[in-house]
Amino acid sequence: MQLPHKHSATGTTIFTVMSALAAKYNAINLSQGFPDFPIDERLAALLHEAAAGNYNQYAPMAGLPMLREAIANDFKRRYDLQLDADKEITITPGATYGIYTAFTSFLQPGDEVIVLEPAYDSYIPNIEMNGAKAVCVPLTAPMFSVDWNKVKDAITPKTRAIIINTPHNPAGSVWSAADWQQLADLVRDTEMLIISDEVYEQLIFDGRKHYSVLEHDELRQRSFAIFSFGKVFNNTGWKMGYVIAPPLLTDAFRHIHQFIAFSINTPAQYALAQYLQQDSLPKVGALMQQKRDYFLQLLQELPFTLHHKTAGSYFQIAGYENISGLPDLEFAQWLTKEYGVATIPLSPFYCDKKDDRMIRFCFAKKESTLEAAVERMRRLNTVSKTQF
């Protein structure tokens, strides 16, 4: 029996492939993005409290009111933004789900969506699962900035949306207020909607500010802003996130959401709500900046090429042209098998699988993990390029 393909991606997502390879070869896993240190024990205790108490049945479809209120208060505190917890915030099982459901709430077959590449690997399949077409526009290396003329040229009468990601996975670049203004000028006279993937909003370094689409009054009216608790509380396995959108878009989102997930893990919602009500958010940005700096310092001893220092997210990309001439996927596999360090090749983040001979490291790890990984790669110094 042959089943139809619902999107053009072939095989299994690179994050699963590389994490499985890491496990198989007992490699240190700097590939898939997740922290390797424990969560705040107060949050763990709150999860226990929820399960031991009476928080084990279905939550309301939009999410526990106390969690949505806590998010609204958090946005008031951090961004001075007024959000309507009932009409503008929906709790989701992670950001990936939020992105898919946002697309599904408005895309029609034949629509086009602009994707800035490199791009997180779920975007294009999510667009295609809705019968729509991804139109890829490359970001400009080495800083992975937006070429606004290219974006403008990509807009056609069929363009229904654009998906933005800042801070950016995998490049670690961040948008300025001027970028949002450029986007506003481009979409003003169109029907385009915006999916703004801001999962790394709090992982932003060197005193930079994260500009949320929600802070741009004009753009906010046509945007779904996507967030993930996993990146803030270092609990990616909880798969908890939320989507903020104006009432009209939130209605469309829930219209779909009610028949896919319906509602989200109640004990986890309770724990996050209680935590947010009692405490200010963990200082995850400062922590990850320290890890970035430490990792970059360690990396200096290795022959990788760093074209820029990551400004946000927990990823650093690096060139390996001084080490090997292998294509990036093969290089990442070789590094895992021979050196015991798993990374992510960049080509899966491109529409045409363009290979710039770069890999992505995740530095959201204990210092001892980063040290051990660099120690394992120290032998790379002696590997001659001509061996490949």
Interface ranges with ligand GLN (CB under 6 A): 13, 15, 32-33, 169
Looking at the DSSP bridge assignments, the partners of residue 161 are: 113, 193
CB 114 within 8 A of CB 154: yes
CB 107 within 8 A of CB 128: no
DSSP three-state, residue 90: strand
The item of ligand GLN, ligand PMP, none sharing an interface with residue 289, based on CB under 5 to 8 Å by kind, is: none
| Nearer to ligand PMP among residue 128 and residue 303 (C-beta) | 128
The item of ligand GLN, ligand PMP, none sharing an interface with residue 32, based on CB under 5 to 8 Å by kind, is: ligand GLN
CB of 104 to ligand PMP, least distance (A): 15
Residues that bind ligand PMP (CB under 6 A): 33, 94-96, 120, 165, 169, 197, 199, 228, 230, 236, 239, 241
CB of 379 to ligand PMP, least distance (A): 31
| Nearer to ligand GLN among residue 15 and residue 350 (C-beta) | 15
The item of ligand PMP, ligand GLN, none sharing an interface with residue 197, based on CB under 5 to 8 Å by kind, is: ligand PMP
CB 250 within 8 A of CB 216: no
DSSP 8-state assignment for residue 141: T
The item of ligand PMP, ligand GLN, none sharing an interface with residue 95, based on CB under 5 to 8 Å by kind, is: ligand PMP
How far is it, in rounded angstroms, from Cα 321 to Cα 54?
57
The item of ligand GLN, ligand PMP, none sharing an interface with residue 15, based on CB under 5 to 8 Å by kind, is: ligand GLN
| Nearer to ligand PMP among residue 201 and residue 328 (C-beta) | 201
CB of 231 to ligand GLN, least distance (A): 8
| Nearer to ligand PMP among residue 96 and residue 105 (C-beta) | 96
| Nearer to ligand PMP among residue 34 and residue 331 (C-beta) | 34
DSSP 8-state assignment for residue 321: T
CB of 305 to ligand GLN, least distance (A): 21
| Nearer to ligand PMP among residue 239 and residue 303 (C-beta) | 239
CB 106 within 8 A of CB 193: yes
CB of 340 to ligand PMP, least distance (A): 24
Largest separation between any pair of C-alpha atoms in the chain: 64
Sign of CA dihedral 51, 57, 59, 64: negative
How far is it, in rounded angstroms, from Cα 65 to Cα 77?
18
| Nearer to ligand GLN among residue 196 and residue 250 (C-beta) | 196
Residue 246: asked if its preceding bond is cis (omega within 30°), the reply is no
Which two three-digit tokens encode residue 233? Answer: 């509380």
CB of 24 to ligand PMP, least distance (A): 22
Q: Residue-wise over 90-128: b if at least 16 C-beta within 10 A, else e?
A: bbbbbbbbbbbbbbbbbbeeebbbbbbbbbbbbbbbbbb
The item of ligand GLN, ligand PMP, none sharing an interface with residue 234, based on CB under 5 to 8 Å by kind, is: none
How far is it, in rounded angstroms, from Cα 77 to Cα 62?
22
Question: Which residue number is nearest to ligand PMP in terms of Cβ?
Answer: 94
CB of 28 to ligand GLN, least distance (A): 15
Residue 345: asked if its preceding bond is cis (omega within 30°), the reply is no
